[in-house]
């Protein structure tokens, strides 16, 4: 009985210790370092910074593409936009660019399109395969003219999740990656509301929470420090890794 009590007490102390370590500041620094190691290994083992996510065929499409996080945008403006088939939706492009401005849905559909059948991996563990269509982010950025000193792209969204505005960000490698597109179609149809209508990001070498939905704007920035809580995304501000390729 005593031995059993000892084991239970030791186990509880171990768990309490792990909790404390997990909340400490130095643990966060170690995580950041490990995140960098993973990222470096992914690039080194892939032989470069631009590796391609696998693409599938239509036979592989998932029977149902789940919506997760925000399933709609709870505002009058969004409901009105939905009612008019998002005909007047605009994507603002700003920050460190030579030609800031707005793209209409027609502008976006007029750009060269990429269609890709890829697998979406949620951080929770499930996966779904879908066919996405839209212009490459690189063509939008090239048209806008990215200025010297730009390090990140920030994706602005229309949806609030748990009372805070959703947003995301990526580095310039992923911004100019051939598979990074601003999708307006899923499986050949206009993007469903639960999947981010009318525009969502596809950033195929990272987990689902990076794929910002209900896009309203793209900002080219030098630093993420002054945006929201400074971690570069809604979930990143709540403890998740900024590099979601792990």
Partner 1 sequence: MAKPKKRHALSTRLWHWTNALALILLFMSGLNISNAHRRLYWGDDGFLPEQAWLEVPRFPGWATIPDYYSLATARDWHVILSLVLGFSLLAFMLFALFNGHLKRDIWLRAREWKPRNIGKDIREHLRLNFDHGEGKYNILQKIAYAGVIFVLIPLMIFTGMVMSPGMEAAWPWMTEFFGGRQSARSIHFIAAWSLFAFFVVHMLLVVAAGPIHQLRDMITGGKE
Contact pick of 107, 109, 111, 122 for partner 1 (by CB under 8 A): 122
- Rounded-to-integer distance, Cα 133 and Cα 18, Å: 45
- 35 vs 107, which CB is nearer to partner 1? 35
Label residues 103-125 b or e (16+ Cβ within 10 Å = b). Answer: bebeebeebebbebbbebbebee
Contact pattern from residue 167 through residue 196 relative to partner 1, giving x for each residue in contact according to CB under 8 A and a dash for the rest = ------------------------------
Among residues 92 and 194, whose Cβ is nearest to partner 1?
A: 194
Q: Residue 135 contacts by C-beta under 8 Å, 6 or more apart in sequence?
A: 108, 111, 112, 113, 114, 181, 182
Q: 120 Cβ partners below 8 Å, 6+ apart?
A: 65, 127, 128, 129, 130, 208, 211
- Name the segment binding partner 1 (CB under 8 A); options: 18-26, 80-88, 158-166, 221-229: 18-26
Which CB atom, from 30 or from 190, has the smaller least distance to partner 1?
30
Interacting residues toward partner 1 by CB under 8 A: 11-12, 15-16, 18-19, 22, 27-28, 30-31, 34-35, 37-39, 41-43, 45-47, 51-54, 56, 60, 62-64, 66, 119, 121-129, 204-207, 235, 238-241, 243-246
């Amino acid at each position: 009985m005593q031995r059993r009590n000892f084991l239970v007490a030791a186990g509880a102390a171990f768990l309490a210790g792990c909790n404390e370590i997990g909340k400490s500041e130095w643990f966060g620094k170690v995580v950041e370092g490990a995140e960098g190691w993973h990222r470096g290994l992914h690039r080194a083992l892939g032989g470069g910074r631009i590796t391609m996510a696998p693409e599938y065929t239509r036979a592989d499409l998932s029977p149902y593409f789940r919506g997760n996080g925000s399933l709609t945008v709870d505002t009058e403006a969004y409901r009105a936009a939905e009612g008019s088939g998002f005909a007047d939706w605009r994507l603002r492009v700003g920050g460190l660019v030579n030609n800031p401005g707005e793209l209409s849905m027609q502008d976006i559909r007029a750009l060269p399109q990429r269609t890709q059948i890829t697998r979406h991996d949620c951080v929770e563990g499930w996966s779904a395969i879908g066919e996405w269509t839209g212009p490459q982010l690189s063509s939008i950025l090239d048209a806008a003219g990215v200025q010297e000193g730009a390090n990140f792209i920030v994706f602005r969204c229309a949806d609030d999740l748990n009372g805070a505005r959703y947003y995301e960000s990526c580095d310039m490698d992923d911004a100019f990656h051939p598979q990074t597109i601003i999708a307006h179609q899923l499986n050949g149809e206009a993007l469903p509301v639960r999947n981010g209508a009318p525009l969502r990001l596809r950033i195929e070498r990272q987990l689902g929470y990076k794929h910002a939905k209900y896009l309203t704007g793209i900002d080219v920035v030098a630093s993420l420090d002054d945006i929201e809580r400074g971690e570069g995304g809604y979930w990143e501000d709540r403890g998740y890794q900024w590099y979601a390729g792990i």
